[in-house]
Amino acid sequence: MAKNTNIRISLPAVCFVWQIAMIILFGVFVRYNEESDTRWIEHRRRKNISTNLENDFYYRYPSFQDVHVMIFVGFGFLMTFLKRYSFGGVGFNFLIAAFGIQWALLMQGWFHYLDDDGKIKIGVENLINADFCVAGCLIAYGACLGKVSPVQLMVLTLFGVTLFAVEEYIILELLHAKDPGGSMVIHTFGAYYGLTISWVLYRPMLSQSKHLQGSVYHSDVFAMIGTLFLWMYWPSFNSAIADHGDGQHRAVINTYLALAASVLTTFAISSISQKHGKLDMVHIQNATLAGGVAMGTASEFMITPYGSLIVGFCSSIISTFGYIFLTPFMEKTLKIQDTCGIHNLHAMPGVIGGIVGAITAASASESVYGQEGWYFMLCNFPGGILKLPIWGDPADANCFDDEVYWEVPEDEDENMLSSHPNMNHARGMPDA
């Protein structure tokens, strides 16, 4: 029964091999573009650009930094809510995002940014796109949180980034859809990718670690750090690669308004759904963000301020109801165990976003319909690979427990726990 969770060989091996591969591939393929190269001065002269400020850096760097915070602090801290998996939440998020951005620069580079000389020329826009690409994988991680090993996560990220670059190419380049904030390209894709993997890795006896699959008081406060940084910086996410000038400006306003409407709606549904009207932290931490997801595709469109409010309003209703009704249903009936409820936060609002975008633009419709099935097919094969018994993933009884992969300090509370025999049930014994 007890699985071998020793990753002392496999994790360093994967990290080293892939990092060295990145160095070699970057050596062969990646160069600065003309705005980040010393040739910028000639480029300025040639193009008659009057000021250094016209370097794309000054248009996009503040937005890039906001997106960067969303990826590492936003997603990372949102996943610290589990009582004994906060290290894994924020730590593995850090690992796979740092790998993913390197791989994404290459994959997206080959598809979109290849120059005549066979080199990928990078600048600040590539950094933003790499962060976007990684967001898809972090969403997928949300469904698997606590149930997979870091080695599996590295594989999940390798395939996830690859598939992302492919589907992005199809949707944006072949179907000519617009999706600056990635409702479809990032959120719906990431969610179905994660759900497929979670479905393949279904754990029938997961209830053995039920006592760990919840929060404690302060872990919920930590998760609010993640929620708020995602919520505050989402206008930057949806505007970071929008058109200069009014495009970026409008994308910010639309996203800001959709998110504001999401908060009130989430509080309303959360309160109405509970005995005594008490609010549920799971809803507040997640469904308040649905407006940002749903505004991704149409962020730059002339959707009007009140249109944005309506998008936020509707998506959060659906998202909160998803947490209440759909997550338990999916686990019982569809055998999909979705730790963070990404179906409610990313899949459904992402589909709404695609539909809103299609209606607003009266275009891009094909890219929306039938995507789910297509995503599902695509995502199946990495799931199968991850099922092999070689990855050091935890047994059902050891899920959601940092003890498996981290040196965990012995809290003084725990000293006490062990001095009270009747408290020992509360924590699985460490594997030492």
Residue recorded with tokens 């959060």? 316
- 148-167 residues near a copy of itself, rule: CB under 8 A: 150
> Residue 412 Cβ, how far from a copy of itself at the closest point, in Å?
5
Report the half-sphere exposure of 364 (CA within 13 A, side-chain side).
24
Would you count residue 405 as binding a copy of itself (CB under 8 A)? yes
> Residue 326 Cβ, how far from a copy of itself at the closest point, in Å?
19
Instruction: Decide: helix, strand or coil at residue 303.
Output: coil
From 86-94, 164-172, 184-192, 338-346, give the range in contact with a copy of itself by CB under 8 A.
86-94
Would you count residue 233 as binding a copy of itself (CB under 8 A)? yes
Applying CB under 8 A, among 66, 179, 338, 393 the residue interacting with a copy of itself is 66
> Residue 119 Cβ, how far from a copy of itself at the closest point, in Å?
10
Residue type, 112: H
Would you count residue 30 as binding a copy of itself (CB under 8 A)? yes
From 185-193, 240-248, 336-344, 364-372, give the range in contact with a copy of itself by CB under 8 A.
240-248
- Given a contact cutoff of 8 angstroms between Cβ atoms, the answer to whether 185 and 165 are in contact is no
For 384, counting Cβ atoms within 10 Å of its Cβ (0-12 exposed, 13-18 middle, 19+ buried), the class is exposed
Cα–Cα nearest to 56, from 234, 237, 243: 243
- Given a contact cutoff of 8 angstroms between Cβ atoms, the answer to whether 130 and 97 are in contact is no
Mark 272-311 with x for binding to a copy of itself (rule: CB under 8 A) and - for no binding. Answer: x-xxxxxxxx--x---x-------------x-xxx--xx-
Would you count residue 427 as binding a copy of itself (CB under 8 A)? yes
From 170-178, 213-221, 331-339, 382-390, give the range in contact with a copy of itself by CB under 8 A.
213-221
Would you count residue 319 as binding a copy of itself (CB under 8 A)? no
Would you count residue 267 as binding a copy of itself (CB under 8 A)? yes
Beta-bridge mates of residue 120: 30, 114
Cβ atoms within 10 Å of 419's Cβ, excluding its own: 9
CA distance 295 to 315: 9
CA distance 12 to 18: 10
Rounded to the nearest 5°, which phi and psi values hold at 32?
Answer: -70, 150
Residue recorded with tokens 């995002």? 97
Would you count residue 225 as binding a copy of itself (CB under 8 A)? yes
Helix axes 150-168, 371-386, angle to 10 degrees: 150
CA distances, 38 to each of 27, 31, 32, 105 (Å): 19, 12, 9, 21
Closer Cβ to a copy of itself, 31 or 203, answer by number? 31
Beta strand residue intervals within 63-183, DSSP E:
120-122
Applying CB under 8 A, among 111, 220, 321, 397 the residue interacting with a copy of itself is 220
Closer Cβ to a copy of itself, 30 or 294, answer by number? 30
Would you count residue 406 as binding a copy of itself (CB under 8 A)? yes
Would you count residue 51 as binding a copy of itself (CB under 8 A)? yes
- 247-266 residues near a copy of itself, rule: CB under 8 A: 248-250, 252-253, 256-257, 259-265
> Residue 156 Cβ, how far from a copy of itself at the closest point, in Å?
15
Applying CB under 8 A, among 170, 224, 359, 395 the residue interacting with a copy of itself is 224
- Residues in contact with a copy of itself, counted by CB under 8 A, come to a total of 144
Would you count residue 213 as binding a copy of itself (CB under 8 A)? no
- 92-151 residues near a copy of itself, rule: CB under 8 A: 94-95, 98-99, 101-102, 122-124, 127, 150
Distance spanning both ends of the chain, measured CA to CA: 17
